[in-house]
Amino acid sequence: MAARSDDAVVLEVGGHEVRVSHPDRVVFPEPGLTKRDLVRYYLAVADGALRGAGGRPMVLKRFVKGIGAEPFFQKRVPENHPAFIDTATLHYARGTSAEETVVRDAAGLAWVVNLGCLDLNPHPVRAEDLAHPDELRVDLDPMPGVDWSQIVDVAMVARDVLEDHGLVGWPKTSGSRGIHLLVRIEPHWDFREVRLAAEALAREVERRAPGLASARWWKEERGESVFVDFNQNAKDRTVASAYSVRPLPDARVSTPLDWDEVRSRRPEEFTVSTVLERFGDRGDPHAGIDDAVGSLDGLLRLAEELGPAEKAPRGASRGDGSGRRVSTMPLIEVARTETKPEALDALERWKAANAVVVPHLTPSDVLVDGMRGSSSLWYRVRVNLQHVPDADRPEQGPLVADYDPWAGRGAPGADAPSRGDGA
């Protein structure tokens, strides 16, 4: 390890030199983790991290201002990337394209961490075949008010559905509140077919676990359930992969589990320090995932049996020609903000001004959504008044905060929650 005058260090990793700037900068104040610590972590778990993210194009989610600020999303690989970083050009439905980063070795992991990436966000395709995913992703995303035992119950049902259709689910904590199930599949189906298979899976889980699980895409219609997020299989979606460090104060890690651990362990147990010890003691529970490749034929037959999914109502009644969906729920919008703390502050101000409403609200009636902007998240706050008596329901008024994420950039095609982190 050699030092430079700007306090950078140069690491020798697998025959490559990786420069790490400001290695002693504290990234996670609570456990006192520096950038150097994060690089060392990823090098120690490289075998598992590369099993999840290696060889796949990834979006760089860069926390250049620390975990207390919003990251920005960088699809295009930096122009001055080293020779050991591969690239792949992805084409998007809007007609745009991006030459994205492909990490193939431990040096690549160290390099992206130096850029400010905490978690790894790969696409479900290999760089050698960008049209056919080799991974189906099941994101079990709990609504507010849902406890861990309910998430586990839904995970067990999802495992059964997968097994009934010839597939193996490999569980991991999302690193936040939910569970991810990763399913290796043969790269024979396009994104539309993979998403259809995932939607059929979600609908079947909802059928087998009514009230516990939901396949409803619109958040206000789910109640206190676990959303089986099939849309993570859309072409433009990424999720935090195995061994990703999440931007929570305790440096929590998205951690692969054995099925016999799922009910007894909790996400908060898995942090950078504990995962380092766990990985050293037992290795990667997902070591066999690439040998468990399955077919989507069973789930696609299920999709045919279930028939077309119910389409969400759209904006014909709005009368403005936008084509945007009009909810069947009595929703009001409270705020649009640049950051989550601003969103939560706006929500509290709205509650103070509408105190008569607050006792009627359940946790799932308050909707705080991270939305994808041009290169970063912004936040939308809505309240579902379904449990509020008609006489006490406030009308839609001016927003408490009205941030415009598209100012100077042109309007987006549609507002959609950014689910790139997996809840």
- Tell me how crowded residue 36 is: count the other CB atoms within 10 A of its CB: 18
- Going from N- to C-terminal start, the domains of the chain cover 331-402
The pLDDT score that the predictor gives to residue 105 is 97
Of 254, 224, 18, nearest in space to 121 by CA: 254
Helix (H, G, I), strand (E, B) or coil at 295: coil
Q: CA-CA distance, 38 to 34, in Å (whole number)?
A: 6
Q: Are 6 and 17 in contact (CB under 8 A)?
A: no
Q: % helix / strand / coil in the chain, to the nearest 5?
A: 30, 25, 45
* Lowest model confidence (mean pLDDT) among 8-22, 254-268, 330-344: 330-344
Q: Mean per-residue pLDDT for 397-406?
A: 88
Q: Mean per-residue pLDDT for 106-133?
A: 97
Q: Mean per-residue pLDDT for 105-129?
A: 97
Q: How many helices (H) and strands (E) does the chain have?
A: 8, 19
Q: CA-CA distance, 317 to 100, in Å (whole number)?
A: 41
Q: What Rg value do the Cα atoms of the chain yield, rounded?
A: 22
Q: What is the pLDDT of residues 182-193, one digit of tens each?
A: 999 999 999 999
Q: What is the pLDDT of residues 327-378, one digit of tens each?
A: 778 888 999 998 888 889 999 999 998 999 899 888 888 888 888 766 677 8
Q: Pick the more confident residue, 5 or 16.
A: 16
> For residue 367, what are the β-bridge partners?
382
The pLDDT score that the predictor gives to residue 369 is 80
Q: What is the pLDDT of residues 202-248, one digit of tens each?
A: 999 999 999 999 998 787 888 889 999 999 999 989 999 999 999 99
Q: What is the pLDDT of residues 293-306, one digit of tens each?
A: 999 999 999 999 99
0.85 surpassed by pTM: no
Q: Mean per-residue pLDDT for 246-261?
A: 97
316 has a pLDDT exceeding 70: no
DSSP letter for 251, please: -
